[in-house]
Structure 1
Amino acid sequence: MLSCRLSSSLDPNTVSVRRESSKDSFLTSGTRVLKHVNQIEVVKTYKSEWNLFIKSVTDSFAANYTCKADHQVLLSDVQLLILFAPKIDYSGISSPEEIVDEGGTVELTCAFTGEPLPKLTWFRGDVKQLTGITGSKLVMRDVKRYATDFYTCRGENSVSFEDYTINLIVKFHVEIDVMEKTIYVKRGGMFTLSCIAQGAPLYDAYWIDVHELKVKSSMWKYDFYSEPAGAHVPAKFVTLVTRTGTLTVFDFGTYTCEAKGEGTVARATVEVIEHKDSKEHVPHTSNGFN
């Protein structure tokens, strides 16, 4: 309801009152509605009032409204702001998935409409941890693989808030590292080989045994495990375990952990050596990756 009242110096019986807006020009003349007839009424609570009542307000009614009497006498001048929740402006945002090479620069952008104009804040991860960065752009230079994550831009105003999430993928060549490069084991015993494979993309990671066969869990002499190794980096722990009593003289030699990426293959080897009861052969141990 936008009020308009005559001053005491004007006679409501003889004066003519008109309403206009900065968008639609003349809206009413007296009590007659000229535009938006289904949404606008002129309400006269008192003889000297010509109040403008707008029903089912949309943001299209945001404008400057004036009420004038004869001879361009200004009775009221009101700016109407229509408050509405933030909405994503798809013409000014990054795609839902952005890919950048490690060491490069990436610029994530977002945009929202809303009244009042939304404040933009950036969050990281599924738990939406504050990054301390505000504004429409999140720029990262010399990007490391650990930047791989979900980044959320939140547009917030006094009405509500809306989120837009971007999945950032940092590409890098596949890499392989092994727990131990040499192990000693007795014939008839068993051993465990472990490696970690990293890469983006990382298509596959597996062990190749001494007979140059790709190890599968279905093989009678091996158990094979592959499990994720990190939350923000595409990495897998790949483990090969021999079953008890299967190790023969023909199973000593070189075992290879291999990973495949985009146009690249990485390999690392472990030498499995027969341990004999001789002082010449001393077991090699390691507490971590070499």
Structure 2
Amino acid sequence: MALTRGLASFAAFFLRCFDFTATRAEVLFILLVGVLFVSNAVQAGPEKPNFLKPISNITVAVGREAILECSVQNLNSYKVAWLRVDTQTILTIDTFVITKNHRIGVTKVEQTTWYLHIKDVQESDKGWYMCQINTDPMESQLGYLDVVVPPDILDYPTSADMIVDENADVFLRCAATGSPLPTITWRREDSQPIKLINGSEVLEITGEFLNMTKVNRDQMGTYMCIASNRVPPSVSKRISLLVQFPPSVWIQYQLIGAYQGQRVTLECHSQAFPKSINYWAKNSGEIIPHSTKFVPEIIGENYKVHMKLTINYLGEQDFGIYKCIAKNPLGEMEGSVNVYKIPHPNLAAPSKDKSGLHDKLDQGNQQWPDTSQKVTMKIPLQEDMNTSQASKSRPTDCITFYNIISLFILYRLFFCSFT
């Protein structure tokens, strides 16, 4: 009677759980296993089997192997089976694999522990698993398999590289999947701060969206969106933001004084995106090519350009206005430098042999003395020197004569007073 009940129970369970695409041989094999499973279940034993400990819940990264453990004591002739709960699928009975999933396996250690192996774990393997003993009624316990998935950034709807006009609003998005759900962090590849809508600047910001208003050329660059969920490895995507604007030109020294024969270097700074065409030209519009006399040089960095023009041995015809010109599809800009002539310092200074003066630079201003102010000296003639000596000797002679007369008068007065 018990055997009949057991076979009926197994048949009902088989019809509910088994895959009907099996061949006749597989069905006969399963029925045979069922008979053994049920026949062992009706055997009376001195003590019923029970579980030694609960099944531990485990967490496994996708692609790895998951192993669930079921420990039983006093099993005697009963059998242990593993089932997938949500699909009601029989996976193994004792040491036999029932499912057609080639990634499923089972191992037994002595007569106490059964291990369910799931190789190359997929996210779909996540769920509850049951370890069951074919007692009447059946004994079972559950264990949960959690499958974690490293983050992955979706090509869509994640933002692609973009080109915008200066002062436009920019909205970037980074969408990612993973288990658990990844956290998105934004930062600039060049480690420069990110300027937010409220005007504040931060080195990094968290969130799926990055919004910036009225972007300028300084915000041009590569932005990194990094997805992480504590399941290695983290992933990132580079999004290039290009800000286009017409050329602008800045010149520090617009007036340069130089003397003939001197070597001078003119400098000009420009900014533009798309990158501009840069060149030097004379005031007449004639482009200045590279030569032994004129040496143009362009140093570029991102959207910034530093232009130089070296003029070797200035000639009379080389003084005048020079233009630095920058052009791109959005516009054109130019700046001018006026090279004017100044006197040669060595020719303008007075001769030391003739003047006898020690000419030197003004220590305070570090400039050449004003050569337009001439220094003159009057050299006295010989007859003027004689006249001067005569005029200087007369007062001395007069003083001596007057002294003699005065002494004579005093002598007479003194002598008469006694007579």
Give the TM-score normalised by the residue count of structure 2.
Answer: 0.56
Determine the C-alpha separation between the residues in 2 that align with 1:192 and 1:2. 79
Deviation at 1:255, TM superposition (A): 1.4
Aligned pairs for 1:128-277 (under 5 A) are 131-160=203-232, 161-217=234-290, 219-228=291-300, 234-244=303-313, 246-249=314-317, 251-275=318-342
One-letter code aligned to 2:305: K
Aligned pairs for 1:39-188 (under 5 A) are 39-45=103-109, 47=111, 51-67=115-131, 75-95=140-160, 97-126=161-190, 131-160=203-232, 161-188=234-261
Determine the C-alpha separation between the residues in 2 that align with 1:259 and 1:53. 69
2:18 corresponding residue in structure 1 = none
Contact 2:81/2:90 (<8 A) preserved? no
Distance 1:117 1:57, change over 3 A: same
Distance 1:88 1:35, change over 3 A: farther
2:395 corresponding residue in structure 1 = none
- Cα deviation, 1:157-200, whole Å, max 9, x if unaligned, reads 32322222222212222111112233333333333221111011
Gaps of 5+ in 1: 278-290
Considering only CA atoms, is the larger Rg found in Structure 1 or Structure 2? Answer: 2
- Cα deviation, 1:202-248, whole Å, max 9, x if unaligned, reads 2321211245332333x23111111135xxx611110111012x422
Determine the C-alpha separation between the residues in 2 that align with 1:72 and 1:79. 23
Deviation at 1:113, TM superposition (A): 2.7
Contact 1:210/1:252 (<8 A) preserved? no
Contact 1:20/1:67 (<8 A) preserved? no
- Quick one: higher RCO (CA 8 Å, sep 6+), 1 or 2? 1
Determine the C-alpha separation between the residues in 2 that align with 1:162 and 1:194. 45
Determine the C-alpha separation between the residues in 2 that align with 1:128 and 1:77. 52
One-letter code aligned to 2:224: T
One-letter code aligned to 1:189: Q
Distance 1:205 1:56, change over 3 A: same
- What's the secondary structure of 1:81's corresponding residue? strand
Which has more helix, going by share of residues? Answer: 2
Identity %: 26
Determine the C-alpha separation between the residues in 2 that align with 1:125 and 1:103. 22
Contact 2:245/2:330 (<8 A) preserved? no
Distance 1:19 1:183, change over 3 A: same
Gaps of 5+ in 2: 1-66, 194-201, 345-419
Deviation at 1:94, TM superposition (A): 1.7
Which has more strand, going by share of residues? Answer: 1
Deviation at 1:259, TM superposition (A): 0.7
- What's the secondary structure of 2:257's corresponding residue? strand
Distance 1:13 1:208, change over 3 A: same
Deviation at 1:136, TM superposition (A): 1.8
One-letter code aligned to 1:235: K
- What's the secondary structure of 2:156's corresponding residue? helix
One-letter code aligned to 2:166: E
1:26 corresponding residue in structure 2 = 89
Determine the C-alpha separation between the residues in 1 that align with 2:111 and 2:154. 46
Q: What number of residue pairs does the alignment pair up?
A: 267
